[in-house]
């Protein structure tokens, strides 16, 4: 099993698991690989650390490679990306998708004409701004393909 660090043109990073290097190349050439966050198909391999089997060796003392003035930006970005994806999947799992009826349904809930519940869907920028002015709490989020399905 080969595990590669992959990335898209928008700098999203993710892992890909393949049976072999040839399997990766085949899927890439057939256009089967895409970013789980934005759907971009411009995928490329990113540098990754080699796995070393050091079983039986004494552990080396830890060495700090990061300074206060130079944070590990790539590691932090990957952690933030993963946390955002987890939070958005949780929001999706705990809300009802009302699709293009979002603005109408949010207003119905706000005015007591529909049951109180968490909903998600699509609304224009103008509708979102109007709802905020009306005192309806809305939170615009990107429409990411990865929050709607399990990644395999």
State the pLDDT at residue 151.
46
Digit-coded pLDDT (tens) for 45-64: 988 766 655 565 555 555 44
* Boundary residue ending a domain (91, 117, 147): 91
As given in the structure block, the two tokens for residue 130 are 């109007």
Q: What is the 3-state secondary structure (H, E, C) of 80-139?
A: HHHHHHHHHHHHHHCCEEEECCHHHHHHHHHCCCCCCCCEEECCCHHHHHHHHHCCCCCC
My answer on whether 106 and 35 are in the same domain is no
My answer on whether 86 and 103 are in the same domain is no
My answer on whether 80 and 131 are in the same domain is no
My answer on whether 87 and 128 are in the same domain is no
3-class DSSP state of 42 = coil
The rounded distance, in Å, linking the Cα atoms of 90 and 100 is: 21
Digit-coded pLDDT (tens) for 88-135: 888 888 889 899 999 999 999 999 999 999 998 889 889 989 999 999
Asked whether the CA dihedral 23, 24, 25, 28 is positive or negative, the reply is positive
User: What pTM was estimated for this model as a whole?
Assistant: 0.49
Domain count, the chain: 2
The rounded distance, in Å, linking the Cα atoms of 80 and 37 is: 13
């Amino acid at each position: 099993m080969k595990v590669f660090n992959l990335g898209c043109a928008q700098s999203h990073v993710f892992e890909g698991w393949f049976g072999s290097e040839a399997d990766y190349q085949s899927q890439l050439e057939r256009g089967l690989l895409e970013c789980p966050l934005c759907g971009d198909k411009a995928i490329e391999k990113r540098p990754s650390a080699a796995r070393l089997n050091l079983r039986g060796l004494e552990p080396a003392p830890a060495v700090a490679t990061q300074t206060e003035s130079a944070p590990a930006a790539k590691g932090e970005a990957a952690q933030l990306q993963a946390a955002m994806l987890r939070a958005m999947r949780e929001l999706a799992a705990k809300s009802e998708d009302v699709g293009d009826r979002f603005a109408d349904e949010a207003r119905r809930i706000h005015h007591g004409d529909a049951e109180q519940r968490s909903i998600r869907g699509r609304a224009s920028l103008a509708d979102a701004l109007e709802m905020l002015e009306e005192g309806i709490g809305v939170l615009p989020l990107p429409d990411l393909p990865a929050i709607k399905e399990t990644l395999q």
